[in-house]
Structures are given as structure tokens and as C-alpha cells.
Amino acid sequence: MAKLLPRGRKVKILATIGPSSRDPDTLRALLCAGADAFRFNMSHGDHAVHAENFKTVRALEKEFNRPIAILCDLQGPKLRVGEFAEGKAVIAHGATFTLDRDETPGDASRVCLPHPEIFDVIAVGQRLLINDGKIRLKVKQVDDTSITCQAEVGGVISDRKGVNVPDAEIPIPALTAKDRRDLDFAIEHGADWIGLSFVQRPEDLSEARQLMGGRGALCAKIEKPQAIKRLDEIIALSDGVMVARGDLGVELNPEEVPPLQKKIVNATRLTGKPVIVATQMLESMIESPTPTRAEVSDVANAVYDGADVVMLSAETAAGDWPEEAVIMMDSIARQVERDEGYKMRVRLLDTPPDATTADALAHACMTVGDTIELAAITVFTSTGSSARRVARERPAVPVMVLTPSVAVARRVALLWGAHPIATRDIGSFEEMIGKAKRMSLRHGFGQEGSAIAVMAGVPFGHSGATNLLHVVTLSGAELDEYENDHPEED
């Protein structure tokens, strides 16, 4: 069996699979280069392609004996203009342009907007952004069948270009018919995370939750200004959050995005749920083997802010240098985490423990790791909750997460500092200590004489009963004895 050593960093890397990376050899190279999880973009590729990607990732998981998270990112509702008589037109700067409900092909003065729900909520003075904000229209007049605008920024507009409505909440469901089909496919094939696009309100999460039926974890993508207004409610109803800076940057002024990114990261970190920073992190590496200095700083700042995950999109999906992009992101993260000021920076956010025994012990794990030299904190968990509590404290040492559930191990793969291991359950204190020691030695956390902290719950096998913290010293003789007696157990 091939072996992957511990990453040596806390932040995780989520790489998107696409035409540049879907073959098994490339995906293996990305995993070895530092990818911890893979994103399937359901906006592209058919189910047959994604099914092959599932098989490839699960084969790699078995080859390397390392739980790998798969996040299926749903497309979400896309608002688009209709078609033009000549395929495209040019809107002059300052010109009047009308979006209406007439399906006749458009020209330089008008085009169909086949979304009646927009006509119900748009108001004079609001903006319409087309083609990722390249065309900016300001609404001058509205009635039931037409929206008359002035082009603040004109340009070329072509068939089916996307429309953003930043100043209004559009009453459309977060899941389209395509999303429901994609969600069924993803859950059927064992997706660990579902990315829900264009979340505007807490209610948007309800239908996805119901369709998931308790399978997989739900990640709310924050890419609409309306979501910011109810951010805490959305975080409370999700299992994790993605800062989707692409569409967020279209609907907001560019200078508004960085402080919002920090706000979303901090608000999510307070809950202990994983937060992903995504979009254009190493954008120039789609075509270049090296990033710009600004991109390096962007990734570094996300790591300094304590994000759980940094994501690569087109860089690995469609770029010319997918492996190099992962290597670069891994290198940036390692360099930041070696900085002597990193621990202080990542803990600038105060994450006070809740008044529970489990939270108090998670906080104590962090304190013990600061006080004595630990090789790892070992957390026994059946749901992943204890691992999230410990990771929320941003301890100075890795968190080895032992769970009898493969599904939990895969979900935890997106958690800051966590090294998940799917292993048999324990039934006694002695078995717990012995397994913690063996797994630490076997997976490269410490050596003979190293200390580890062990957190678990007694009685064993009952979720929500975390009440024990123990510090033990590793012994190589114990591992040798175990291997001779139990060669078959992972």
C-alpha cells in the first residue's frame, strides 16, 4: 500500500477536478502534491464523467489509506438574458437598453429577460450586471413587461449571458431541477459535502437538507450580498461555509470583498465549522507555471486568518499547470505556518468555549499543547463534533481524528489541522490508550518517547459524552508488540 506522510500543515487544500486533472495519474499527482480533498463542479461535465471521477478518487483513497473528502458543487439558479438576432450586440456607453419579456431575438436596444421573478422585485435606481459585471445597467423605468435601463458601462453582450441583481432579493429557490438531479446523483455516489450555490436566506438550505436525508454535509456558498444580512442564521443551519469570492465580487464593489471575507471566516470559525476561501486564488497559474506576488499574498492572508480550506478552481480543473498549482499552494501554506507569528495571528479571533465539558476539554487540549511538547492531539469521535471543537481552538499541534465511521473521517478531511483515520471502535480505557499510541506511531505523529494528548468520552460508543483528557508517552515496543499480535487491524 502506498503511503502519504502527514501534510505538515494545518490548512487544507481543495482542488477542483476538470479536463486538466481527471485522469488517474494526474489526480494521484495532485494528491501527492498536497491536495486533501476534491471538488466536483456540477456546472460542467455529465454524470458519466463525474461517476468516473468518483471511482478514481475512491481508488486513490484505498491506495493511500487516506480518507479523501469529495465536495459536489451544485450550479444553482442561473439568471440569463435571451438570444440576439446576430448572436451578439454592442451596447454603447450611456445608451438606453431594455430587458423585456418579448422572446423575439434581441439587438443593440433590447433583449428578452426570461425571468418574470425579476420584474416583480426590481426597482428604479437599482443595478443589473451582465456577463460577470462587465456590463453595468442602471434601472430607469419598470413595468410588468419591461425594464428600461441606462448603460453606465456598455460593451459587447451575447446570447445567454448571466445576469446579476445585486440590489434585490430574487424570490427563486436555491435548487433548480438540474440541481435536484445532480444532488440525487451526488448523494447516491457517496459525496461527502454538497456545495449549495447562491444562498440568499436561511430557508434556502431547507430543501437541500430534506433531499440529502442525513447523508453528506451541507456547505453554504456565500456569493450574494443578501446572504451577508443573515449570515449567522445561514451558518447555524449549514455544516460549513464557502466564501465564493467570484460572484460576490461581481455584485459588490471590489474593495468590499476583503473585509467581508474576513467577516465570514471569523463568523464561521466561532462555530467550529469549516470555512473555505475560494475563487481566483492562483488565477494566473491557469496559464503560467508561477503565480503573481499578489496571489501569493492572497493565499497567505487566508491562511493567516485561520481559514480551514483554500480552494483551487480553474487552476486545477482547466489550467495548464494543475500539479504546480497544488505544489505552490502547499508551499505558501507551509511557509505561513512556519512563521513565528502565525500562532498568534491565527488566534487573534477569540473563540471562547461553550459552558460544556466537551468544550472545556477541547480548550484544555490547546493549552496542554502550548505548555508541553506534544506530537499530536488524538480525538476519538463518532460524529466529528469533538474534532470540530478541538480544531476551533487552533492548537499548535496536529489533531489526529480516530473514528469508526468512514463517512465522518471523509468529512473531517476539510477540518483545520485534522488528520482523519477510519479505524475500529474501542471498548475500554486500555484499548483507547493503546490504539492512540499505535496510530500515532504508525501515521508519523511522534516517535518513541513523544507525548500525545488523548480526548474521548466514557462510556465508549456513546456520542456526545466527551469527558476525558489523558496525556501519554509513546513506546516503540508497544507498536512492535501490537503488530505481532494484531497484524490485520488498521
Active site residues: 39, 80, 221, 279
Contact in structure between 277 and 310 (CB atoms under 8 Å): yes
φ/ψ of 443, rounded to 5, equals: -100, 15
Contact in structure between 79 and 170 (CB atoms under 8 Å): yes
Gap between the Cα atoms of 473 and 384, Å rounded = 25
Contact in structure between 61 and 68 (CB atoms under 8 Å): yes
Gap between the Cα atoms of 167 and 315, Å rounded = 31
- Peptide bond before residue 459 is cis, with ω within 30 degrees of 0: yes
Instruction: Return the residue matching grid coordinates 466527551.
Output: 466
Contacts (Cβ under 8 Å, ≥6 apart) of 26: 20, 322, 323
